Amino acid sequence: MLQTPATPLRFERLLLTGAAGGLGRELRPRLKAYCNSLRLSDINTLQPEQASSGEEIVPCALQDAQAVMKLLEGVSAVVHLGGVSTEQPWEPILAGNIMGVVNLYEAARKHGVGRIVFASSNHVMGFYRQDQVVDAKSPPRPDGFYGLSKAFGEDVAQLYWDRWGIETVSIRIGSSFPEPRDRRMLATWLSYDDLERLVLAALTAPVVGHSIIYGTSDNQASWYDNTHARHIGFRPQDTSDIFRAAVEARQPVIDKHDPAVIYQGGGFVKAAPHG
């Protein structure tokens, strides 16, 4: 196994993939504080002339191995949000989330990138029930092709740590929005500020190997046990509880026979992957 270099608190160049997506747009201004140069990438939706001070924009399709290889030149660490983020037919998931994650790790290996923050998903565990608590050692139970692709990404991260010493924190992101949208999200909600805290902790924790952590705020209701990820040093400071009364007023009744209520994956357990 290769020896990984010391982890800095400020990076020369960070790469943020999926920079035009919802969470990418939120992290874009926040990550600038932690690097001298922020390289932003997405597929077609960002143009180089849109870069502001301290930014570089490099459009890239993750399934294009040569483009990904060029994308990672000179990069110190990666925050990988890129790829498909919803349940879709297999072909786009194969391209963005399967081929794309292999291309990313191969490029990281060849360019000597030592740390990746991988945006995994709670949907890796979507077919656990909402009356169960899971941790990083619970076997995956994906709720669709999307969740399956994120479980594959975690396995890729494990391989590249075991064989080549590339460290990864796989964040099983819950529901990161300005506020919870329904009663399920009272358990899965992750504030934007806590998202920033988690990504920063994942980038700068001294030693992570390949670690899995559930990305949620300090919610009273939770299905996730992060005991095995305490070494990362993430301490959420926000909570969904301040929204509870409003959420329950909007959704006073739930159907306990609905699979979206029974299982942690919510509506993803009913999504038609071939639709």
Which residues, 6+ apart, have CB-to-CB distance to 190 below 8 Å?
A: 173, 174, 175, 176, 198, 215, 216, 217, 236
Q: Write out the two tokens for 205.
A: 């924790």
Alpha-helix runs per DSSP H in 112-191: 145-164, 185-188
Q: How far apart are CA 107 and CA 230, in angstroms?
A: 29
| 181: number of Cβ within 10 Å | 15
User: Which is it for strands 11-17 and 115-121: parallel, antiparallel or unpaired?
Assistant: unpaired
> What SS3 state is found at 88?
coil
Q: How far apart are CA 46 and CA 58, in angstroms?
A: 8
Q: How far apart are CA 146 and CA 89, in angstroms?
A: 9
Q: Write out the two tokens for 79.
A: 């925050």
Which residues are part of the catalytic machinery?
146
What residue ranges in 58-163 does DSSP mark as E strands?
77-80, 115-121, 134-135
In this structure, which amino acid lies at residue 86? T
Q: Write out the two tokens for 239.
A: 């909570």
Q: Are 31 and 16 in contact (CB under 8 A)?
A: yes
> What SS3 state is found at 238?
coil
